Amino acid sequence: MNLLFYLSFIMIIIANIFMILSFILSKKSFLDREKCTPFECGFDPLSLARIPFSLHFFLITMIFLIFDVEIALIFPMIPTFTLVNFLIWFKISFFFIIMLLVGLYHEWNQSMLNWTN
């Protein structure tokens, strides 16, 4: 038990020595303005923070994301075709496809699919 305690104590001492050495020997400049500024997704942080972006482009992105997830949910239907009862599989697949089409019709009705407004 004492050996385990001594080994743990020695490892903690060695780790602290390395942390202190790295802090002393590091070449960090606190006066470098570029390193102190935030970098967000390629935008220049020295310019205006409120850069206008297209809300329509954001909506198209959200629609793509939703349909991408729906495609990921459709893929497992193909291998399960031979593993389950055909009638149950058909009802679930039909319901899922109808829900997708209702969502697509709603987006079309709201004219969210028109790029030029």
pTM for the full predicted model? 0.46
Is residue 62 in a domain?
yes
CB 54, CB 113: distance < 8 Å: no
**Each residue's pLDDT tens digit in the chain (117 positions)?**
788 899 999 999 999 999 999 888 877 666 666 666 666 565 555 555 566 767 777 777 887 888 888 888 888 888 888 888 889 889 988 998 898 889 888 878 887 767 665
Residue 13 in domain: yes
Query: Tell me, what's the pLDDT at 115?
Result: 66
pLDDT score for 43: 57
Residue 44 in domain: no
Q: How far apart (Å, rounded) are the C-alpha atoms in residues 92 and 90?
A: 6
Q: For residue 117, is it within any domain?
A: no
Q: Does 102 fall in a domain?
A: yes
- Same domain (yes/no): 105, 64: yes
Q: Put residue 41 in one of left, alpha, beta given phi > 0 → left and psi -120 to 50 → alpha.
A: left
Same domain, 60 and 104: yes
Angle in degrees, CA 59, 65, 71, rounded to 5: 140
The count of structural domains within the chain is 2
Question: How many Å apart are CA 77 and CA 58, to the nearest integer?
Answer: 30
Look up the domain containing 71 and give its range.
55-109
What pLDDT is attached to residue 19? 92
Are both 20 and 65 inside the same structural domain?
Answer: no
Whether residue 72 is contained in a domain is answered as: yes
